[in-house]
Amino acid sequence: MGRIEIDLKVMHGKPVIKGTRIPADVILGSLAGGMTYEEIEKEYGVTKKDILAVIEYAASIISHEKVKPLKMKA
């Protein structure tokens, strides 16, 4: 995940694609909105490897998420 960096001086510490000010969540949102890799590459000037790094980063965050069941009222 060397393509994703977190620096408090860049975008207030949000994860971005290294060497850019493009937040990872913008790329994920673009994918969720139906944009293709090619459209994202053209729109933001990133590479397919950058997009895949964002997906890998998001997957690693989710894989460590703790889920606690809610207590249901009877």
Is residue 24 within 8 A of residue 15, CB to CB? The reply is yes
Q: What are phi and psi of 46, to 5 degrees?
A: -110, 175
* Angle between helix 37-44 and 24-32 (nearest 10): 140
Q: Is the entire prediction scored with pTM above 0.75?
A: yes
Cβ-in-10-Å burial (0-12, 13-18, 19+) of 28 comes to middle
Please indicate whether residue 70 or residue 45 has the higher confidence score (pLDDT): 45
Domain ranges of the chain: 4-63
Domain 4-63 classification at class level: mainly alpha
**DSSP secondary-structure letter at 12?**
G
User: What is the arithmetic mean of pLDDT over 10-21?
Assistant: 95
**Confidence tier at 1 by pLDDT (50, 70, 90):** low
Model confidence pLDDT, tens digit, residues 38-61:
999 999 999 999 999 999 999 999
